[in-house]
Amino acid sequence: MEVQSVSTTPFDDQRPGTSGLRKKVRVLRQRHYLENFVQSVFDSIGDFRGRTLVVGGDGRYYNRQAIQTILKMAAANGFGKVLVGQGGILSTPAASCVIRKHQAHGGLILSASHNPGGPDEDFGIKYNIANGGPAPEAVTEKIFSRTRTIDRYLTVAADDVPLDVIGACALGEMQVEVIDPVADYAELMQSLFDFDAIRRLLADGFRMKFDAMHAVTGPYARVIIEGMLGAPQGTVMHGEPKEDFAGGHPDPNLTYAKDLVDIMFGEQAVDFGAASDGDGDRNMILGRNFFVTPSDSLAILAANAEQVPGYRDGIAGIARSMPTSAAADRVAAALGLDCYETPTGWKFFGNLMDAGKVTLCGEESFGTGSDHVREKDGLWAVLFWLNILAVRKQSVATIVREHWQRFGRNYYSRHDYEGVDADAAAAVLQRVRDQFGTLPGQQLAGRTVQHCDDFAYTDPVDGSVSENQGVRILFADGSRIIFRLSGTGTSGATIRLYLESYEPDVQKQGQDAQQALADMIAAADAISGLRELTGRDRPTVIT
Ligand code: VG1
Ligand code: CO
């Protein structure tokens, strides 16, 4: 089969963001656009001749077409083999698992995660390295600089590869193996959690619902939760992956996972509810009439890890992204473990896990995971909770309240202002920055400002430095106000305002978070001029 070298010219703005390149489908479908990016990846990842590449996606619109393009380019560029999920499906954590298990050179994951899908919506592509995790900044910068000089890409003229039947076929010199997208992942989950105990819990009348949001986790949850763990059929809601997520927004939060939230806060509430996002790496955990914040969830998993077989021998350390609440820090301190604070995005956790410094990681944005893979993992978090529930035999709410009693409660909220004018968004952050010199020592929201900065991170393993990762106002009592611009949006800018205050007094732990944080919210607006500069009078989404 003849390799063709197709001449091309660079596109503007192919810089990978928080997790890869995310664009509107109509942008990605421009002639040569996807090819340019894929070839730029291949030109930036070292010698892969004869080695294996993993390819799969969340099943959204354009997934299959993109995979066919990638397979032909992989063959032309000299990969030995591509492992591709049946039907083009691989959740992000499953892709990470497959890369590691089969010692692949890396993988291409096709997803725009929690962003909507369809011809007028979003698509994305991300490269993961041999450890199964997102490419670190050194690699994404190399890819980006290659996109600016690229002048040719390599492909082969061939028929499309059938993706729906498990088995192998040849594409030129390269082998394409269509694999069961669930099998390797399910086996890994079984090795970590006490499936017998969870099976008994479910057989004893414990009721749960899992909302796959018409996205990638449907097949995984059906096999694992309804199949292996024996939950009744219908436990998995919206379990059929759809190219447009049935018109929904596959983001597992209180706003978008509405059907599940209605059940869990209504008269039909069951003992446990959970949801995952478009590509299966996020999770939301609910009890009967009860929402567990992702920051608390990380802290609770860490505090209960010894009850789970995969973590019985203890955890090495904990890492959280900077905007995530400090609830996990308190658990780490109590257990005598190190706790690391990284910039937003999973790529920063990989080095820490590879070096054996941390076992559990989490982000406030509904992401939790461990060193079993190098991505955050939605179903893993759900199974971790089920394992704890099976051992402790208490309700979700009781487990969380007992945690607050012991460690104190970190009141926490994130306010997102989506689709804001980019200049206005930059001006909001700049206005806060301009006060860095005068704020420390001042009283704000009844607290003393201690320190302000632009968060910067020096990787403790490789020494690389990442600057400008969020504007922070830190208070003497541990409270925080943080402003950050999103790196995953595809239209306009998104301002994220993160608010946190610490409450050790059990008597005061029962408030609504928005009420408990009301002074902080008002102070954040006063200092930044957010409403005035953006013309918005309220956030788009509050979590
Ligand atoms: C958001 C979240 C971040 C997460 C990222 C990818 O990024 O805040 O915590 O790692 O999405 O998640 P940003 O730059 O928009 O704040 V996923 O599930 O979209 O891969
Ligand atoms: Co995701």
Annotate 238-278 with DSSP letters as a single string. Answer: S-S--TTGGG-----STTT-HHHHHHHTSTT--SEEEEE-T
Are both 3-181 and 409-542 of the same fold?
Answer: no
Choosing among 3.40.190.10, 3.10.290.10, 3.40.630.30, 3.40.120.10, the CATH entry for 3-181 is 3.40.120.10
- Residue 256 CA to residue 155 CA, distance in Å, equals 40
> pLDDT tens digits, residue range 151-200?
999 999 999 999 999 999 999 999 999 999 999 999 999 999 999 999 99
Task: Report whether pLDDT(82) > 90.
Answer: yes
pTM of the model: 0.95
In angstroms, the CA 406 to CA 241 distance is: 41
- C-alpha dihedral (201, 203, 208, 213), degrees to nearest 10: 110
Query: Ligand 1 atom 4: the closest Cα is on which residue?
Result: 345
Out of 9-13, 210-214, 226-230, least confident range: 9-13
| Percent of residues, the chain, with pLDDT higher than 90 | 95
Residues 394, 381: contact at Cβ < 8 Å? no
Q: pLDDT tens across 450-506, in order? A: 999 999 999 999 999 999 999 999 999 999 999 999 988 777 899 999 999 999 999
pLDDT value at position 489?
76
Query: What is the full DSSP assignment across 97-166?
Result: HHHHHTT-SEEEEE--TTS--STTSEEEEEEE-TTSSBPPHHHHHHHHHHHTT--EEEEE--PPPP-SS-
Type and span of the H or E element at 519:
helix 518-528
Question: Which atom of ligand 1 approaches the CA of 496 most closely?
Answer: 16
Q: Give pLDDT tens digits for 296-315.
A: 999 999 999 999 999 999 99
pLDDT digits (tens, 9 = 90+) for 222-274: 999 999 999 999 999 999 999 999 998 999 999 899 999 999 999 999 999 99
Asked if residues 387 and 521 have their Cβ atoms less than 8 Å apart, the reply is: no
Instruction: Provide CB contacts within 8 A for 406, sequence distance 6+.
Output: 303
Domain 409-542 in CATH 3.30.310.50? The answer is: yes
Amino acid at 12: D
Contacts of 317 (CB under 8 A, 6+ apart): 332, 337, 338, 339, 340, 352, 357, 358, 359
**Cα of 19 from ligand 1 centre, angstroms:** 7
How far CA 497 is from CA of 124, 255, 416, 450, 539, in Å, comes to 25, 17, 6, 19, 9
Query: Positive or negative CA dihedral for 168, 172, 174, 179?
Result: negative
Looking at the predicted structure, is the pLDDT value of residue 201 above 90? yes
Check residue 506 and give its pLDDT: 93
Rounded to an integer, what distance in angstroms lies between the CA atom of residue 124 and that of residue 34? 10
487: CA distance to ligand 1 center in Å?
A: 7
pLDDT at 221: 98
Digit-coded pLDDT (tens) for 45-72: 999 999 999 999 999 999 999 999 999 9
Q: What average pLDDT does the segment 523-540 reach?
A: 94
Q: Is the pLDDT of residue 1 over 90?
A: no
Q: How many helices (H) and strands (E) does the chain have?
A: 18, 27
The answer to whether residue 18 scores a pLDDT higher than 90 is no
Q: Which of 19, 91, 113, 370 is catalytic?
A: 113
Q: The tokens of 70 are what?
A: 């990638």
Q: Is the Cβ atom of 529 under 6 angstroms away from ligand 1?
A: no
Instruction: Burial-class residue 507 by CB neighbours within 10 Å (0-12, 13-18, 19+).
Output: exposed
Express each pLDDT in 404-442 by its tens digit.
Answer: 999 999 999 999 999 999 999 999 999 999 999 999 999
User: Distance (Å, rounded) from C-alpha 370 to C-alpha 360?
Assistant: 4
Res 492: pLDDT: 85
d(CA 278, CA 247): 12
Task: Report CA(466)–ligand 1 centroid distance (Å).
Answer: 17
Across the chain, mean pLDDT equals 95
Q: Where are the alpha helices (DSSP H) in 22-104?
A: 25-28, 33-42, 63-77, 92-101
Residues around ion ligand 2, judged by CB within 5 A, are 113, 277, 279, 281-282
CA distances from 152 to 23, 32, 50, 198, 485 (A): 22, 10, 21, 53, 34
C-alpha 235/C-alpha 23 separation (Å) is 34
The whole-number pLDDT of residue 487 equals 84
pLDDT (0 to 100) of residue 475: 96
Q: Which residue in this structure is represented by tokens 């409403």?
A: 531
- Which CATH code is given to the segment(s) 185-407? 3.40.120.10
* Domain residue extents for the chain: 3-181, 185-407, 409-542
Q: What are the backbone dihedrals phi and psi of residue 490, each rounded to the nearest 5 degrees, phi first? A: -120, -5
CB 229 within 8 A of CB 202: yes
Q: Quick check: is 113 catalytic?
A: yes
- Rounded CA-CA distance 459/450 in Å is 25
For residue 536, how far is the Cα from the chain centroid? Answer: 27
Three-state SS for 394? coil
Q: Is the CB of 281 under 6 A from ligand 1?
A: yes
